[in-house]
Amino acid sequence: MPSVDLQTLRDLLPPGRLSDDAASQAAFESDGLTAFRCRPLAVVIPQNETEVVQTVRWCDQHAVPFVARGSGTSLSGGSMPVAGGIVISLNRLRQIIKVDPDNRIAVVQPGVINLHVSAAAARHGLYYAPDPSSQKICTIGGNIAFNSGGAHCLKYGMTSNHVIGIRAVTASGEIVSFGGESLESVGPDFTGLFCGSEGLFGVALEITLRLLPQPECFHTVLVGYRSLRAAGDAVSAVIDSGLLPGAMEIMEALAIEAAEAATQCGYPKGAAAVLIVELEGPREKIDAEKKQLESIIAATDAFETVVAADDQQRAGIWAGRKSAFSAVGKLSPDFLVQDGVVPRKRLGEALEAIEGFSKDSGLRVANVFHAGDGNLHPLILFDDSVDGELERAEALAGKILDLCVQMGGSITGEHGVGMEKREFLPKMYDEPTMELMHRLRAAFDPQTIANPGKMFPGAEAPALSSHGLHPLEKAGVISRE
């Protein structure tokens, strides 16, 4: 990397926006993939869109890599800094520009926190559906970059299904505008392409989101099973019935135990697996569907069924689920969260294989997953202070991803490829498809300066070193899903 005169960037921006002292570098050196870190050259904290654009154009002009970052909750290392590069921290672009209840849209800046959109929409009876577990802290800009998911994807889709317009600055400094305020558009769906591009195209400046009416009723059922297979069979039975639950989640014993200890969520004692099924909708529909669900669950091998009687009990059930990984993480000095997808009917087979991998490696694995859409989240526990454990954990994670590809699934359901899985992308896509993705990237970023080292394998990788849990994770502020 040629030496860069940061003073020219400092001169472009108002005082205080750029920091290159060691403390600032250290504050941004990692994200939610806590096993790794890398110090950036400098951090820019813009206060407005113009300053973002100026910074990107400076990076383009000087061929300096940059990483746009929200709250740094990426679990795939997607917002890891690049050595010698600039971190553009977007947290201060946090204005909800408008909420239009008639057309059910919100226009927001990229640094707006996911849950704040729903909070702003709530007085109109609306909400923003995508709900990654980090939604109390993660930003819409990051959600767009990684096409974040959550527990309700089967019914409502991922982030990209709720983004209808994006104004962005590309890595080459061009201001582009995709989509708009209508749900529909004419011409290629550039908005859809931009979602999930992992920061490789540029920086989203203003985003138009689709809002939905808040569900009137929830019917949340927690079911305990003596075996994982019985819980899996119950999922199949629900799917076959024609019901479309808002969420279907499974946690296995190790995760249940940890969640219980952390949140006293009241999960069935002695369960090998618990299943959470949640129906949502207008009361007339839910009244009919809950009877159907009751008879389906009654026909399974459940040993305990709890129906949330009120919002508080529902919140308790979800608190256990949403805290599961952080809670399990406390059982171990370090952990890796994986995020693979298999066809739903092969979930049992996949979990048995993961159990075998775990035994072979001598590392414990806890499983929590979005059962409705086959999205596995194995949590691999290890101790980085023990020689070779990180490598064994990574090798185990790699085997799980290979398994997902072999089963016709995906190496990521919602965390993105990021830095963590970049070597696996060519296992999913053949050479012509990879070449096309490189060409698309070049259309936005001919110099490959936007978030280099992510998504694609190759020599752009930043220098890495391992460390422990993210400080916010230790404090219980963020959790991994």
Segment 417-436, which members bind another protein (CB under 8 A)? 417, 421, 425, 428-430, 432-433, 435-436
Residues forming a β-bridge with 176:
168
Could you tell me the smallest distance in angstroms from the CB atom of residue 235 to another protein? Answer: 10
For another protein, the binding residues in 290-349 under the rule CB under 8 A are 341-345
Q: Is 374 in the site for another protein (CB under 8 A)?
A: yes
Dig out the tokens for 68 from the structure.
Answer: 């746009």
For another protein, the binding residues in 195-234 under the rule CB under 8 A are 195-197, 213-216
Neighbour-count burial for 98-135, b at 16+ CB within 10 Å, e otherwise? ebeeeebbbbbbbbbbbbbbbebbeebebbbbbbbbbb
Could you tell me the smallest distance in angstroms from the CB atom of residue 108 to another protein? Answer: 17
Give 30's contacts (C-beta < 8 A, 6+ positions apart).
Answer: 36, 37, 38, 72, 80, 467, 470
Q: Is 237 in the site for another protein (CB under 8 A)?
A: no
Could you tell me the smallest distance in angstroms from the CB atom of residue 259 to another protein? Answer: 23
Q: Which string of x and - marks every residue 32-51 that binds another protein (by CB under 8 A)?
A: --------------------
Per rule CB under 8 A, count of chain residues that contact another protein: 91
CA pair distance 30, 43, nearest whole angstrom: 13
Q: Are 347 and 399 a contacting pair, CB within 8 Å?
A: no
CA pair distance 183, 191, nearest whole angstrom: 11
CA pair distance 99, 202, nearest whole angstrom: 25
Q: Are 114 and 132 a contacting pair, CB within 8 Å?
A: yes
* Alpha carbon of residue 24 to chain centroid: 25
Q: Which string of x and - marks every residue 160-189 that binds another protein (by CB under 8 A)?
A: xx--------x---x-xx--xxxxxxxxxx
- Stretch of 29-37, 95-103, 112-120, 328-336 lying at the interface with another protein (CB under 8 A): 95-103
Could you tell me the smallest distance in angstroms from the CB atom of residue 213 to another protein? Answer: 6
* Alpha carbon of residue 68 to chain centroid: 16
Q: Is 79 in the site for another protein (CB under 8 A)?
A: no
Could you tell me the smallest distance in angstroms from the CB atom of residue 42 to another protein? Answer: 28
Q: Is 358 in the site for another protein (CB under 8 A)?
A: no
For another protein, the binding residues in 117-136 under the rule CB under 8 A are 124-126
Q: Are 82 and 171 a contacting pair, CB within 8 Å?
A: no
Q: Give the residue with the Cβ less far from another protein, 101 or 266.
A: 101
Which amino acid makes up residue 248? M
- Stretch of 15-23, 265-273, 437-445, 465-473 lying at the interface with another protein (CB under 8 A): 437-445
CA angle 142, 399, 254 (to 5 degrees): 75
Q: Is 102 in the site for another protein (CB under 8 A)?
A: yes
